[in-house]
Every structure is written in structure tokens, then in C-alpha cells.
Structure 1
Amino acid sequence: MTDMGDAAGTPARRRSGSWRRVATLRRFVMTLFVVGQTLIACYFLLWVLPYHGGTLVELGLLALFALLYMWIAVGFWTGVLGFVLRLAGGDRYSLLNRHAGAELEATPLASTAIIMPVYHEPVHWTLSGLKAVYQDLERSGHLEQFEFHIISDSRDPNVWLEEQATWYRLCRELGAEGRLFYRRRRVNLNFKSGNVADFLRRWGRRYRYMVVLDADSLLSAATIVRMVQLMEREPNVGILQTAPSIINGKSLFARVQQFSNRLYSTLFATGLAAIQMGDAAFWGHNAIIRIKPFMDHCGLRKLRGFGLFRGPIMSHDFVEAAYMGRAGYEVWLEPGLGNSFEESPPTLSDELSRDNRWSRGNLQHLWILLFGRRLHLAHRMALLNGVMAYLASPLWLAFLILTTVEAVQMTVASIDYFPEGHQGLFPLWPEWRPEWALGLALSTLSLLFIPKFLAIVDAVIHGTARQFGGVLRLFVSVLVEIVVSVLLAPVTMMAHSRYVVGALLNLSLTWAGQNRTQETTWRDAFLTQFPGMVVAAAWSAFAWSIDPMFFLWSLPVAIPLVLAAPTSVLLSRVSVGQALRNWGLLVIPEERAPVEVLDDARTARRDAGDVSLLTSVEEAVVRPSLNRLHQAMARNIRLARRAELLAPLVERCGKEGPGPLSRGELSQLFRDRQSIAELHQLAWQSPPDSFWGQRITLLGRNR
């Protein structure tokens, strides 16, 4: 492979050394700001506490406060840095700013695979998105350098048979035979990373790069082409990550999520990219990967610890980025690569269900963080950041518990002038400084909210405010988002705390596809949120019995928890989200200016075709064209095994239909070519009043 860095007159090694010096300086300054600000806040907290850190409870409060305040401060300064860099015209060290547009345009493309791992996703909806990406690349004139792979881990025959049928239909619609491929693994090992590894073992050497999409991912052709060109110009880059924008939100919850992502991520992604530079994280999708070093260095061994820390790595992406960095390759986040999209769960309960899965994978990073060898410090910090995304919640809960203990000690118990840890002849007098406490609370809130208003200023300065509905509507939308985030923070804290405890106890968890349409019912909301509502109500009542001031202090946490069920229901409502959109609130630029790949995806998803009265299994048996397709994609199982295992299943399914058979038994049948053919023959020979006879009658109604 040609070293494009040398060809451009800038050796890759020298360029790497340049950005590393800048990154070291930036990280040092960031550390000074974060640690310095945290020390000042801790000093104020010491003087707010009655015994100034003289008791074990107060020392615990101080330690928890320091961790949480530092966590918030990192986010604050990341947003501020992004704001400053955008004022200055962008980060001149970013990959896009290294190369002139004409230079990139003249860079030839290399063979690239676009892969989409799927697992029990809505089939038509998911593959319609892939169809839109295909069509956009075809329009761009660059399709010849790309091939598409759907790699499935689906276990349910009704799902994977539909996947096969939809793939075949797309191949015929697009004329994509020999360019759009489908494969389903028979053995589901090591989650998504195992699926990708299986693809690489079979076909990885066919390509120089692969672009990884999630089931809800969309990338424009221009972005994909630019990613390949950047990788060609930067041979030291192993992974190039885009910053996806959330789209297609319909419910109020999804629209709040997509608005906050689209507005605030402009600052945060710019700041994060400037701090991480070539030591960025990989988010698992909407990214391009250099295949050879990925195959050579990013294989994931099973963890050898205990409980949660034993077995396959569930959250693979951050670890793969760390391994790529360890091998000497760079990982970059490039916010300037636009038209990269994904979707969010439509309801709070769906998001929390996803967080339940993600929390386990992120907590596993603790083991890699502590025992991973030769990892860059920046990648260790990225792993820690992922851990803190969930560990911050139980830390906050512990802080609230210790605060309650402190309040009880100061109001119910008699004052202890010689608390534990205090030595000497003179008593330790408790002191209260309410004005300091108020100032500390306001400073903490400012860390959370100032970046949100900086994002408004940034949108005004760069002329994008009108794309969010204008300055006034943008400001009101931010206020709506703040109210929703305040209502959700305690609910998320309680849920994440429960997930962290469950993960550390290694309780079992099943993985399911993501819900994308269903609203939350009142019954489900109360079943899910009732424990937190009871705890919050009891805590506030207890606080009132202790001290009215402590009761008032508890309300910002207690009220959202008490209202969690109605909040969950309201946020899931599509009608509310659409009403706000009609008023011009929570609007994002992509809803006001057309993007071709988004329009193509929406059109394809609306065109669901004829709605079948049969399941995919039933269609695979009775519809001749689909039966031939599934035969062609099946294999011939050995005769001895057929006689022993499959023949009785064929006979049973032929007489009674698929209902009595388990999912595993149906999978066995539809993996065998001869069994599929025999089922088709038995079905069409069945009497009209039999199960299959009735299904053939329904098939005629579909035509």
C-alpha cells in the first residue's frame, strides 16, 4: 500500500509526533482546570459540612463529591473547549483540516466492505436503511469500490427467514447480485464482536477497509467516500469514527434526545476530538476500520476474572480502539464528517433496557483498565469514562444516602463534640454556612447548564440557529430539554444503580432487538417505576419528619421519582412529540433541509409492500419461489442425522404445522435443504381443511 503521508510530503511518523505534543499539552491544561476546580469545590464543601470533614460520614461525602464533581467538570470543560475551537474556525490538527478539499477529491478509493450486523431487528425497516445507503453510493458514481454484507446472528426462524427473503428481494430490485451479500452464523459466539470476527475470517482479506453500520445507522455516500479518502491519505490511522446525529424521532422522548444530541454534540464532539486526537474511542458503528491491523491486533480474548469479569467481552468497541492504539495505529474522531445518522429508542423504558445491557459491557472495562497491558493512558481514560457513565449513578445514590445519615445525626442525635477521628483537648464545634452551600449548589448546576447555553450562542454565531427554528424557538427548545433532563436524571440514577448492582452480582440477562414504535402503557410505566416512586415518597416523608429544610433539599430528586410513571408515559407519546414539532420546537436541521439518504430511507420504509397473512416460516413452506430460495441457501445435512433427527420433525411439522415445534427444532429443519423441499411437498398435498391447506388458501388471498 502506498504511504500517502510520504506522498503528500509529510511523513506519517513526524505528523504523529506533532499531534501527540499538542494532545499532551491540551490534556495537561484540561487536567489543571478539572482538578483545580474540583479542589476549590471540595474546600467549599468542607466548610459547608458541620464538622468540616471531621467524621467518617463527612469524609465519605467529600470523597463521593470529589468524584462526581470531577466527572461533571470534565464534561463542562470539554464543551467549553469545543466552543472556543469553533470560534477559532475549528481544530487545525483534525484530519479533515490537514488536507485541502481538492487533494482529497483526487485521492482514489480502495476496496471497502460495508457491513451491517443484525440480531432480531425489524427486517424491512432495517434493510430499507441499507438500501438507501446503497442507492446513495450508486448515485455518487463510486459504487464499484464497495460491497455490502448483512451478517446476521438472529436465532428466530421467523426473523432470519424473512431476512433471507428481504435480502434476495433487494438484490433483484437494486441489481445488486454479487455486491450485496447475506450470511447468518449457525453458532452465536461472542455477541456482535464475534459476528464481525466471523466475517473477517471469511472475507476480510478481500478488502482494505470496512465501514461498520448498526441496524439504525445511515451514512451518506459523500461521507463514506470522504472517510475512505482520509484513510488513504493517513496510513497511520486504524479507525476513523464519525459523530452520528440522532434522527427520525417521533415520540417526545426521542425528539428530546435527537434535539439535544444535534445541538450539544457540535460542541462536545469538537472538544472531545481535540482532547483525544489520535487516541480517540471507537463507538462500534458509523466508522471506518483498516482491516489488516484490526485483524492482526484487535482480537478479543475472553476475560479471565470472576463473575462479570469472566467470559466474552460484551462491549467491544472501546477495547478494540485501545488495542489498535497499542499496536501503534491512530484512532480519530472527526466531527467534521457530517451526514452520519443513527436513531434513539422511542421511550424511556426502551432506553433503560438498552442501558441495562450496555452497563454490563462498560463495567467489564474495569478489568481491562486495571489489567490491560501496554494500553495508552488516553485509552485507559476512555475506558474509565465508559465505566463512569454508569458507575456515577450508584455514587450519586451513595452521596444521597450519606447526606441523609448526616442530616439524621445533626437533628436526631445529640451533638458530638469529639467525633470519631477527632483528637485533642478542645471540642469540635459544628458550624453551618447556608450561603456557602447555596453557592456550591449553584456552581455545580452551572457546570451542567452553561454548555447548553453556549450551544445556543454557537448556533447564533455560525448561522445555524434558523435551522433549529430560529433563536426564540431554539431557546425555548433548550428550556424544554432542560426540564425533561431534570425529570429524568433521578429516574436514570435509580435504574443505573440497580443495573450496576445486578451486573456486579452477575445476574442473568437476555438480549433482545430494539423496540422502535411502541408507546409505554400506564400499566407498564407503574410496574417499572413503582419501586422508585415508593422509595422517593418515603424518603421525602422521612426528610420532613427530620427537618423542613432537609425536606426542601430532597425535592429536586424526590419529585421526579414520584412523577416517574406519568413522565414515562408522556415522553413515549408520539402525538406530543409531533405537536411540539408543529410548533417549531425541538426541530433539527435535517428536518428542515432534505438529505437524500434520509429521504430514500423514509420512502423505502413506507413502502412495506403487501402485508402477508402468513408468518415467514409458513411462507417459506408454501410459497414456491421462497421455498426454492431457502433451499438454495440451506445445506445438505448428513443422511444418518436426517433419519434420526430431521425426519420425525418433518413428519410432525407436515401434519400439525410449525406451532408444536420449538425455535431450535424449526431452525434445524430450515437449515436442511431436503427438509425444506419435503415440507413444501407435504404442504401442497395436504387436505384443504388441514393446517397447511388453510395456509395455502390464505396465500391465494395475498395475491
Structure 2
Amino acid sequence: MTYQARHMDIRRGRTAPVAASPRRGADAARPVFVALTLVITATLAGSVAAGIAVWTGWSLAAMALMLPGFLWIAGGAATSLTGLGYPARPGTAPPQGWQPEGQTAVLMLLCREDPQAVATRLDKLSAQLEAVGLARQAQLIVLSDTFGADAILAEAAALDHLIAANRITYRRRVDNDGRKPGNIAEWFDRQGQDFDHMLVLDADSQMSGQRIRRMIWRMETTPGLGLLQAGMSLVPAQSRFGQVQRISSRVLGPPYAAGLAAWTGRTGNYWGHNALIRTAAFAAAARLPRLSGPAPYGGDILSHDFIEAALIRRAGWAVVFDPDPAGSAEDGPQTLAEFHRRNRRWCQGNLQHLRLVGMQGLHPLSRLHLASGVFGFLAAPLWLALVILMGTGLVTLESGLAFALILLTLLIPKLAGLWRLAGPGATTWRRQVACRALAAELMLSSLLAPIVMLHHTAAVVSVLCGRDCGWKRPGGNGPVLPQGLLEMATGLGLTALVVTLNPQGAAWIAPLVAPMIAAPLLIGRIDAVRPDRCPPQNPA
């Protein structure tokens, strides 16, 4: 049977999906991950229980708040350790001269992006697809939800030469119903049947022609594979904040990504871009429900990617994460303000998953992905509540062992990354570079962690109060507080509360409140453009 014939039979339901290859590796890695997670969680909980001076109602409340947090950080540590034990295998290149039998739509989704940057990326990607022999089998399609007369004109002008040269197909919707997933669904209803796969890219996505070719080859040679998510690196940063993220990704990322791929196996996740999806799998499963009621709890699903992955897996298709970041990258937020705005949208979308985690027929690991995304934001207010309970003396620990073990657990992903870079076989120069990078990342991430926790807490409270963050809408005309003022006020308020109720606790909370109080200075310095990244000056 030819590839096209088999593909059409799968589309029409005549042939069931076939198991994809990562199952055997997951069968070995998953028990290791589960065992490590449970052992670390039990150790942390036991150390806290042993150190509590007096058991009261507040102590029981603290333990109830700690347990999900311990499980969360233990899972991260266990994932990185699993990645060291089950490193990712190098990707297999297609045979020399191989050409895809199916057609692939390369979809780039836009909504009020920088048009010149998008045009540059599309120009480069088009040339790379042609260079690797995919010009006939891969079609670049731009799906725009851009609104506003000036933004529309700028986008059309920037892409005009690519459209005229027939290097891209461009369509802009007038009605932005359903946001990004609605844009894809509308295109799919009109043209999806003409393609065997679709590669989804965001405006800031960067993928090489070679990586796309390798992903298509894997998809065509693994009939049960419904979605293949590529690992990603961050492009060189413009600011110090962007550089912190990039260092963190390069040091911590590989062991964690390898571990995640190892224990999730055929039930991986989808991050909304840099992923290849079989159109048969999308047609069979990924039609998103619309939640009842108004936003933020109802309406369109903002974090659509997790749900689409869960539905594709429910339909019997494999969802696989390939952790290799080669030829796959994205831009990260360059300022803390951009980072907070993005996380506010993610918070609202992830909290919507509370209504979907119990959806009928989902794989248990798909439910775990959804729950993990939810707790990624709920963790912040829980940790803040614990800090207040312990800082004010309502809960007292007699021993510092618990704090040392918690700190060690948080450091495990960083130490795993350091081991990968500077372990046995590494040169002295490589070890020095890795240690300097880790030290810089650790210092800056420690300073930023309280500020991020505060904003995550504010995002959760905002959603719980029923406030919708909207989608790509222009900023309002309301008053804007001076940079860092809210963080500083919160830090001073926490300090005053602790000093009033429990003066001995002031030293304990100092590492948390000091970055908050210094936020006006800290944010300005970390958002600054790096000197080596300053744009060239125009000649006079």
C-alpha cells in the first residue's frame, strides 16, 4: 500500500493508528521517574514533619500546603535525574536522496507581530526548504489574525515580495473567532485535506530546513505518530534578562528535556509551535470544546496546545517529544514586563484546565500534563502563604535540615545540567565556562524568583477574581505605576508584618523580601540591553 493510500485510509477510519517507537524506552524510564519523585517527596515531607516544634492547626495547614509543592519540585528533580540516566538518542537522518511522499503545510501564525522580522524569517525558511529539496513537498502558509489598519498595512507591505514571488501563501482573517486555534481550524476546514502533515510555527519560531526534513521523515516512517514536538533553544538575547533565560535553557534544559522525553514516551505534550502534526490525527481529535460561561473561566481555551495533545493521544495516536534542540529555536521575552504579560495569559489558560482535567477518556499522563500546568501557577501563592506562616512564627521548625533539603532539591536540575556539561571527559576550559555560567544563572535566578512568585500570585488572584486578560489587545490608557514600585511595596509590607509579629523571623525572610525591595533598581538593570547587543547607530 502506498503512503498516500494508507494515509487516506487512516483519515477515513479504515486503519487504526499503530504504536509509535518510544514505548520501550518509557517502560524502563517511567518507573525510575516515579520512584525518584516519591522518594524525594517523602524525604522532604518527613524532614519538615520531624522539625515542626509544636503541632497546631497552622502546622497541619502548612503541611497540606507543602505536600503538593514538594511533589512539584521533586518531579522536576526526578525528571532531570532520569535524563542523566536515559539521555536522548541522536536523531536519525533520512537516507541520502530521500524525498517525502506526502505534502506538508508549514503554517506560521501571526497576530500583530513585527512584520519585518517575520518577513526575514520567512525568507530564510523558504530558502532552506528549497536547499534541502522540500520546495515541492512543503508549502509556506501565513495565517494572520492581525487587526488595526496600520498593523495590517505594515504586515502586507513587509510580506508583499514573498507573496509576489509565490514563496508564501498569505491569508488574513477579518473575524478572529477562536484566536490561534480557531485560525488553524478555519484553514484546516478549507485546505487541510490537501496535506498529510502540518508544521505549526509562531511568529518568533525558527526552524532549519534540515530539521523539518528529519521530522517529516520520522513522521512518514512511524505510522502511529500523530504529533512530534521538537525541542527548542533560545536565540541570542538582546537584554540581560533574555540572557538569563538563555543560560538557564542551555545549562538546565538538556537533562530535563531528555528525562521528560524518556518517561512520557508516547504521551508527551505539545507547546503550540515547532511541532509537526499528522493531519489525520488532527482531524480525528483536535477540535477544541468551547467552555461554557464568560472568560476567564469560560469561552475560548487559551492554552490550547495541552488540550490538543491530550485529545490526539485519546484518539490512539502517539504524541512524542524529541528533545533535540538542533535546528529549532524561539525568541524569549526580553524584559520582565513582557515575561509577566505572557505568563498572565498562560496562567488564565492553564487554570481553565481545571475544568478539563477530568475530561472523559484522557490518558493518565495527559491528565498529569494538565495538572502540572495548573500547579505551575498555583505553586506561587502556596509558597507565599508558607513564607508568611513561617515568617510570622505561626509555624516553627526546630531544625534547618528541611530547608537544606528543599534547597538541594531545587538545585538538582541545575547540578544535573552542570554534570552533563562538566562531568567526566570534559576539558578544563569547558568546566570553567560551565561553572561560571551556572554561577551567574543561579545568582540572577535567585534574585528574580521572589519577583516572579509575586507576579504569578497576582495573576492567579486576578483570574480567581474573574478578570479576563484579553488577547493581543492594545494597552489601556490607565495609570502606570513606576517600575518596581509594587514589588518594593509588597516587600516592605511583608517585612513590617514579620517584624511586628515575630522579630526573629526577619532574617529568615530576608532572601525573599530583599529582591522585592530592590526591585526598582534590579528590574532596570536586568532589562537593560546588553552592550554587545546594542543596535548599530544610523550615520549622521
TM-score (norm 1): 0.70
The aligned counterpart of 1:208 is 196
The aligned counterpart of 1:28 is 31
The aligned counterpart of 2:19 is 16
Pairwise CA distance, 1:85:
2.0
Output the amino acid matched with 1:401. Answer: I
Taking the aligned partners of 1:38 and 1:575, their CA distance within structure 2 comes to 40
The aligned counterpart of 2:443 is 483
Output the amino acid matched with 1:445. Answer: L
State the Cα RMSD in Å. Answer: 2.9
Taking the aligned partners of 1:17 and 1:139, their CA distance within structure 2 comes to 30
Match of 2:407 among 437, 445, 449: 445
Match of 1:391 among 378, 387, 400: 378
Taking the aligned partners of 1:23 and 1:134, their CA distance within structure 2 comes to 36
Output the amino acid matched with 1:270. Answer: A
* Partners of 2:232 and 2:324 within 8 A in 1: no
The aligned counterpart of 1:510 is 470
Taking the aligned partners of 2:434 and 2:21, their CA distance within structure 1 comes to 39
Q: Secondary structure at the match of 1:300?
A: coil
The aligned counterpart of 1:564 is 519
Q: Does structure 1 residue 137 correspond to structure 2 residue 153? A: no
Taking the aligned partners of 1:237 and 1:272, their CA distance within structure 2 comes to 18
Query: How many residues are matched?
Result: 525
Match of 1:381 among 368, 375, 397: 368
Pairwise CA distance, 1:336:
2.9
Taking the aligned partners of 1:215 and 1:199, their CA distance within structure 2 comes to 17
Output the amino acid matched with 1:135. Answer: A
Deviations 1:565-624 (A, max 9, x none): 211111111135759xxxxxxxxxxxxxxxxxxxxxxxxx99x9xxxxxxxxxxxxxxxx
Match of 1:43 among 34, 37, 46: 46
Taking the aligned partners of 2:177 and 2:200, their CA distance within structure 1 comes to 19
Match of 1:123 among 115, 118, 128: 115
Deviations 1:621-676 (A, max 9, x none): xxxxxxxxxxxxxxxxxxxxxxxxxxxxxxxxxxxxxxxxxxxxxxxxxxxxxxxx
Q: Secondary structure at the match of 1:144?
A: coil
The aligned counterpart of 1:168 is 160
Structure 2 vs 1, CA of residues 433 and 200 (structure 1 numbering), >3 Å: closer, same or farther?
closer
Pairwise CA distance, 1:513:
7.9
Structure 2 vs 1, CA of residues 514 and 149 (structure 1 numbering), >3 Å: closer, same or farther?
farther
Q: Secondary structure at the match of 1:225?
A: helix
Structure 2 vs 1, CA of residues 305 and 513 (structure 1 numbering), >3 Å: closer, same or farther?
closer
Structure 2 vs 1, CA of residues 291 and 64 (structure 1 numbering), >3 Å: closer, same or farther?
same
* Partners of 1:240 and 1:287 within 8 A in 2: yes
* Partners of 1:115 and 1:148 within 8 A in 2: yes
Q: Does structure 1 residue 454 correspond to structure 2 residue 416? A: yes
Q: Does structure 1 residue 74 correspond to structure 2 residue 61? A: no
Higher deviation after alignment, 56-65 or 545-554: 545-554
Structure 2 vs 1, CA of residues 102 and 449 (structure 1 numbering), >3 Å: closer, same or farther?
same
Deviations 1:331-377 (A, max 9, x none): 0000136110100111011100111111111111111003x110000
Q: Secondary structure at the match of 1:332?
A: strand
Deviations 1:88-129 (A, max 9, x none): xx45xxxx66xx646586463421111111001111112211
* Partners of 2:495 and 2:513 within 8 A in 1: yes
Match of 2:298 among 266, 291, 310: 310
Deviations 1:268-294 (A, max 9, x none): 110000011110001000010101220
Taking the aligned partners of 2:465 and 2:32, their CA distance within structure 1 comes to 39
Pairwise CA distance, 1:538:
2.6
Structure 2 vs 1, CA of residues 154 and 457 (structure 1 numbering), >3 Å: closer, same or farther?
same
Deviations 1:367-402 (A, max 9, x none): 1003x1100001100111111111111111121232
Q: Secondary structure at the match of 2:19?
A: helix
Taking the aligned partners of 1:129 and 1:257, their CA distance within structure 2 comes to 22
The aligned counterpart of 1:65 is 66
Alignment of 1:93-108 (within 5 A): 101=93, 103=95, 106=98, 108=100
Taking the aligned partners of 1:290 and 1:252, their CA distance within structure 2 comes to 39
Structure 2 vs 1, CA of residues 479 and 561 (structure 1 numbering), >3 Å: closer, same or farther?
same
Q: Secondary structure at the match of 2:441?
A: helix
Structure 2 vs 1, CA of residues 110 and 488 (structure 1 numbering), >3 Å: closer, same or farther?
same
Q: Secondary structure at the match of 2:468?
A: coil
Q: Secondary structure at the match of 1:356?
A: helix
Alignment of 1:498-537 (within 5 A): 498-512=458-472, 527-537=482-492
Pairwise CA distance, 1:144:
1.4
* Partners of 2:17 and 2:223 within 8 A in 1: no
Higher relative contact order (CA 8 A, sep 6+): 2
Q: Does structure 1 residue 183 correspond to structure 2 residue 145? A: no
* Partners of 2:227 and 2:275 within 8 A in 1: yes
Pairwise CA distance, 1:222:
0.4
Structure 2 vs 1, CA of residues 396 and 337 (structure 1 numbering), >3 Å: closer, same or farther?
closer
Structure 2 vs 1, CA of residues 138 and 22 (structure 1 numbering), >3 Å: closer, same or farther?
closer
Alignment of 1:561-640 (within 5 A): 561-575=516-530, 578=533
Structure 2 vs 1, CA of residues 264 and 186 (structure 1 numbering), >3 Å: closer, same or farther?
same
| Unaligned 5+ runs, structure 1 | 7-11, 411-431, 516-522, 580-604, 609-703
| Unaligned 5+ runs, structure 2 | 7-14
The aligned counterpart of 1:518 is none
Taking the aligned partners of 2:259 and 2:2, their CA distance within structure 1 comes to 32
Taking the aligned partners of 2:197 and 2:444, their CA distance within structure 1 comes to 41
Pairwise CA distance, 1:253:
0.4
Structure 2 vs 1, CA of residues 105 and 570 (structure 1 numbering), >3 Å: closer, same or farther?
farther
Alignment of 1:354-433 (within 5 A): 354-370=342-358, 372-405=359-392, 407=393, 409=394
Indicate the percent of aligned positions where both proteins have the same amino acid.
Answer: 30
Taking the aligned partners of 1:433 and 1:207, their CA distance within structure 2 comes to 61
Q: Does structure 1 residue 553 correspond to structure 2 residue 540? A: no
Taking the aligned partners of 1:142 and 1:221, their CA distance within structure 2 comes to 8
Pairwise CA distance, 1:503:
1.1
* Partners of 1:121 and 1:513 within 8 A in 2: no
The aligned counterpart of 2:228 is 240
Q: Secondary structure at the match of 1:304?
A: coil
* Partners of 1:465 and 1:474 within 8 A in 2: no
